[in-house]
Chains A and B, each alone.
Chain A
Amino acid sequence: MRNNNQKVVLCLAKKEYRSDRGRSIVLTGAVAFAVMMLFSVFSFASGKLQTDMLRSARQRGAVSNTTLERATQKQYEQIQELSYIRHTGKYIQFGNVFGNRAAVVDDVAWEKIKSPAFTDIHGTYPEGKMEIMFPVRALEMMGISQPQIGMELPVAIEFSEERQEEFVFRLSGYYTEYIDTSQYGPPDVYFSQAFLDAVSDGEEWDVTLFMRQDDRVTGRQVEQKLYRDIAMRDIKQRFFGNNTSVEVAVFTMVGGFDTLFMITVVILLSAGLLIYNVQYIFYERRIREYGLLKTLGTTRKQLCAIVFWQTAVTILRGSLLGMLAGGMLVLLVLPLLLSRMYLYRIGSAAGMITFRPLFLVLSVLFVSCVAFLCSALSIRHTMNLTPVEAANYQKLEAAYTGKSVYRQKGGGFRLWQMAWRNMWRFRRRFLVSAVCLTLGLLVSLGVVMLSHGVDTANEIESVYWDMWVNSDILNTDYYDISLGSHRKNDDGTITIFPQEFLEKIQALPGIAESAVTRGGFGQVKMNEEALALFMRDYEWPWWIDWATFVTAELSGEQLAEGRNLQ
């Protein structure tokens, strides 16, 4: 029974493969497209997630999510032992330098928590006693546009209101940060531990611990765990836990991990169905060939060898093409796209690893598995047919179709009837096609959503102006302290920025556009009953004994008219 003659099988496989170029091209194209699609989509999604995480980290100036103020050495050591905390770094702020924070961080805090949020880091973290590291923004404020490592800088440090001292430091490094100062305060100017020890004069500085938790642990969970595992030094000491960048990025992009999973399934299903559909169409054409081979004595194993060899060649060629196309897309286009769309004005995406070989390998593996599975299914189907059934497979179908069509011709032939009959007759094929088209549309919509719907360039554009002027309304001639409100014009309107001022701004060279934004605050007073109702649905942390409610009751018209502005 055994037959190990692989030569004839290989010969058949090769000759059959070469004989139908159209089929080979379409199948190879389908594999290439599926590999490219999967690799690009997952690379894009991963890149987008990374970008969001990077954006969030850059705006915060750190990749940590959780902090503990006034930490003790014991707490630091205990936290380092915790399995759900990946990195713990020490941070000490001991004063201010030109409006920036004068700080010292340990190796972990710099390497794992701070520096990943910065770009263009030149030089090294200060180690010598009189070494200093500046953010570029601070250097520019000092009038240094072209800093040199090793240059000497006279720096005045404000240790406290009473203590201010000036030193001359050697610039050991500088970095570019993108901290959103309105939310996270000014950037840090870094000093060495040696310098801090020298100027401390026995003073104990408050140590803040920056912690980077495991990505699977939410901010709420990490707080609960930390309060459970670490003893607080006093009642005022608190942990501040935030969700990880991964969670925030996933939530921002698609709404949550469950949606991400669903989208992943839909994308995989689309690629799988594409391969299945194309292979199925060509398989139907080949059933007669398989039937003939079976008649001539080709066993299941030999048929498997023929079909699997052809599938392997198709996958190899398709995967190479898909890898090439996907690789080019991911390496050349994606970083550009991500930088322009999501990292606008907060650094480039050039340093990000958007090309992930693992995605490529997984894409090729998935497509290969589907292709081999489809081939195995077609062999199984063929082997379940007798040679006669295989030989007549298409004949029967064609004969049946023809017969029905012609019969209708005499009695008033309708195209839609033919379409309906065909649809009903080939229900399975119709269903697969319908699902394929639906998934195709879904994926297309998903791509549009990903590339445009979550494009934050506009949001950044609107939030981060090149320059803005705040009216310090309390210190202008337009605010009447005795009245506690703006002085109204004769026509009842309020002027915060005089027209002449706005015109002067507009006339400045380089100003392309300007706008005036006005806002207001409102306060809602609630009685205890109403408050209890609100509090019932929210589990407040134990230390919260107050809350601020922001309302949006004022309409645009009211704001424009200046009514109710208090």
Chain B
Amino acid sequence: MKVLETRNVRKIYHTPSGEVHALDGVSISVEDGQFVAIIGSSGSGKTTLLNMLGGLDNPTDGVVFVRGEDIGRLKVDELTVFRRRNIGFVFQNYNLVPVLNVYENIMLPLQLDGRGPDERFFEQIIDTLKLREKLDSMPHMLSGGQQQRVAIARALSAKPAVILADEPTGNLDSVTGMEVVGLLKSSASLLHQTIVVVTHNEEIAQMTDHIIRIEDGKVRGGKDEE
């Protein structure tokens, strides 16, 4: 079953120096439970594609389906709610809410959705991600690796069907990076979640089930050809 699908997605940015075709007719699909890597050189359009998949940006042209829903047809608030229920995000710069402590950051998507915590699941996540001792800490008191673990816990907390991670290891050393990807993979496997990771790290890409290679805004193929 296709969890994510793009059909002929284009994204054109208008800059003072002219038009930039960040995505040029991208059509991909990701199956349920897959761990997929999007790789490409800097400026190739991989983050733009991830943003389209997560409904964080609107394509200039084309359609994006998430769990069969054409997210381009959703209204702003509908998309917001759809996103918080179906998609978890992990960013390179963690994007934790600085005024909330670790516990509050993890619980935020759930609470925004008006749901109470699943205590058993929560315990499982914090044990897996080794965050038990840090629940009362503020983000600025944590190391990069710890912050990224909190971001992963936050992404997982609402049990979304899809986790989208944009360079999750970009600010981490190689050992911590590999550890984070491992955690992401094992945590997601608990819930049979689909994970899409944007990376330029070939080593991480090799850990995935499927690689989508992007160059100049176009899909060029990968480990498992489309």
Q: Give chain A's interface residues, CB within 8 Å of chain B.
A: 1-5, 7-8, 11-12, 15-16, 18-19, 289, 292-302, 383, 386-389, 400
30 contacts across the A-B interface (CB closer than 8 A): A1-B78, A2-B114, A3-B112, A3-B114, A5-B114, A7-B111, A8-B107, A8-B108, A8-B111, A8-B112, A11-B100, A15-B99, A289-B97, A292-B95, A294-B80, A295-B89, A296-B108, A296-B109, A297-B80, A297-B85, A297-B112, A297-B158, A299-B77, A300-B80, A302-B112, A386-B56, A386-B58, A387-B56, A388-B57, A400-B16
Chain B residues with CB under 8 Å of A389's CB are 57
B94-111 CB contacts (< 8 Å) to partner A: 95, 97-100, 104, 107-109, 111
Q: A292 — which chain B residues lie within 8 A by C-beta? A: 95, 97
A3 and B113: CB pair below 8 A? yes
For the complex, give the distance between the alpha carbons of A289 and B100 in Å. Answer: 13
How far is B99's CA from A383's CA once the two chains are assembled, in angstroms? 22
B56 touches which of A15, A300, A388 (Cβ 8 Å): A388
Residues of A within 8 A of B158 (CB): 297
CA distance A174 to B156 in the complex (A): 87
Q: Do A297 and B81 touch (CB < 8 A)? A: yes
Docked-complex contact A299 and B100, CB < 8 angstroms: no
Q: Does B83 contact A (CB under 8 A)?
A: yes
B8 in the interface (beta carbon within 8 A): no
- On whether A19 and B111 interact (CB within 8 A), knowing A383-B76, A388-B51, the answer reads no
Q: Is there a chain A Cβ closer than 8 Å to B84's Cβ?
A: yes
Q: Which of B57, B58, B112 contacts A296 (CB 8 A)?
A: B112
Q: Closest chain B residue to A387 by CB distance? A: B56
In the complex, chain A residues whose CB is within 8 Å of the CB of B58 = 386
Contact B104 A11 (CB under 8 A): yes
| Minimum C-beta distance from A378 to chain B (A) | 15
Among A295, A302, A383, A388, max chain B CB count under 10 A is at A295
CA distance A12 to B111 in the complex (A): 11
Closest-CB distance, B39 to chain A (whole angstroms): 20
Residues from chain A with a CB closer than 8 A to the CB of B77 are 1, 299-301
Q: Which residue of B lies closest to A14 (CB)?
A: B99
> How many Å lie between the Cα of A296 and that of B112 in the bound state?
8
Contacts of A299 in B (CB 8 A): 77, 80-81, 112
Contact B56 A4 (CB under 8 A): no
A12: chain B residues within 8 A (beta carbon): 97, 99-100
Given A3-B112, A11-B104, A12-B99, 16 additional A-B pairs, CB 8 A: A1-B77, A5-B112, A8-B108, A18-B99, A292-B97, A293-B97, A294-B80, A295-B83, A297-B84, A297-B158, A299-B77, A299-B112, A388-B56, A388-B57, A389-B57, A400-B16
- Identify which of A19, A296, A300 contacts B99 (C-beta below 8 A): A19
Q: Which residue of B lies closest to A6 (CB)?
A: B114
Rounded to whole angstroms, the CA-CA distance of A12 and B109 in the bound complex is 12
The closest CB in chain A to the CB of B110 belongs to A8
A297–B111 Cα distance when bound, in Å, is 10
For the complex, give the distance between the alpha carbons of A266 and B76 in Å: 38
- List of B residues within 8 angstroms of A5 by Cβ: 111-114
> Which residues does chain A contribute within 8 Å of B98, judged by CB atoms?
19
> CA of A93 to CA of B111 in the docked complex: distance in angstroms?
84
CA distance A11 to B108 in the complex (A): 10
Residues of A within 8 A of B112 (CB): 3, 5, 8, 296-299, 302
Q: Give the residue name and chain of the B residue nearest to A389 (CB).
A: B57
Q: Which B residues lie at the A interface, using CB under 8 A? A: 16, 51, 56-58, 76-78, 80-81, 83-85, 89, 95, 97-100, 104, 107-109, 111-114, 154, 158
- 5 closest A-B pairs (Cβ-Cβ)? A297-B84, A8-B111, A3-B114, A15-B99, A5-B114
Find chain A residues with CB under 8 A from B104 CB: 11
Residue of A nearest to B16 (CB): A400
B114 CB to closest chain A CB (Å) equals 4
Expressed in whole angstroms, the Cα–Cα distance for A451 and B185 within the complex equals: 74
Task: Determine how close the nearest CB of chain B comes to the CB of A203; give it in whole angstroms.
Answer: 88
Smallest beta-carbon distance A390→chain B, Å = 9
Instruction: List residues of chain A with CB within 8 A of the CB of B108.
Output: 8, 296
Closest CB of chain B to A18's CB: distance in Å?
8
Q: Please, which residue of chain B has its CB at the minimum distance from the CB of A3?
A: B114
With contacts defined as CB atoms under 8 Å apart, how many contacts are there between chain A and chain B in the complex?
A: 76
Interface centre among B78, B80, B89 (most CB of A within 10 A): B80
Kindly state the separation between the CA atoms of A289 and B58 in the bound complex, as whole angstroms: 20
Given contacts A1-B78, A15-B99, A388-B51, contact A297 B113 (CB under 8 A): yes
Cα A368 to Cα B64 in complex, Å, equals: 42
Contacts of A296 on B, CB cut-off 8 Å?
A: 84, 89, 97, 108-109, 112, 154
A310 to chain B, nearest CB (A): 12
Instruction: For A300, list chain B residues within 8 Å (CB).
Output: 76-77, 80
Give Cα distance in the complex from A495 to B205, angstroms: 114
Q: Give bound CA distance, A383 to B16, whole Å.
A: 25
Docked Cα-Cα span, A298 to B113, in Å, equals: 8
A457 to chain B, nearest CB (A): 56
Residues of A contacting B83 with CB < 8 Å?
Answer: 295, 297
CA distance A363 to B99 in the complex (A): 33
- In the bound assembly, the distance between CA atoms of A465 and B83 in angstroms comes to 82
The residue that A16 contacts in the complex, of B16, B99, B107, with Cβ under 8 A, is B99
B157: shortest Cβ distance to chain A, in Å? 11
Task: Give min CB distance, A384 to chain B, whole Å.
Answer: 8
| Cα distance, A15 to B97, chains bound together (Å) | 10
Q: How far is the CA of A4 from the CA of B84 in the complex (A)?
A: 15
Residues of A within 8 A of B80 (CB): 294, 297-300
Q: Which residues of the partner chain A approach B16 to less than 8 Å between Cβ atoms?
A: 400
Q: How far is the CB of B206 from chain A (nearest CB, A)?
A: 28
Closest residue on chain A to residue B105 by CB atoms = A296
Of B51, B107, B158, the most chain A CB neighbours within 10 A belong to B51
Q: In the complex, what residue of chain A is closest to B84 when comparing beta carbons?
A: A297
Residues from chain A with a CB closer than 8 A to the CB of B109 are 296-297
Residues of A contacting B111 in the complex (Cβ-Cβ under 8 angstroms): 5, 7-8
Residues of B within 8 A of A386 (CB): 56-58
**A residues less than 8 Å from B100 (CB atoms):** 11-12, 15
- Chain A minimum-CB-distance residue to B154: A296
Distance in Å: Cβ of A24 to nearest Cβ of chain B: 13
Q: Is the CB of B78 within 8 A of A295?
A: no
Residues of B within 8 A of A295 (CB): 56, 83, 89, 95
Q: How far is the CA of A299 from the CA of B85 in the complex (A)?
A: 12
**CB closest residue in chain A, given B83:** A297
In the assembled complex, the CB of B37 is this many whole angstroms from the nearest CB of chain A, namely: 21
Q: Which chain B residues lie closer than 8 Å to A2 at the CB level?
A: 114
**How far, in angstroms, from A293 to B111 measured CA to CA in the complex?**
12
User: Which residue of the partner chain B has the closest CB to A388?
Assistant: B57
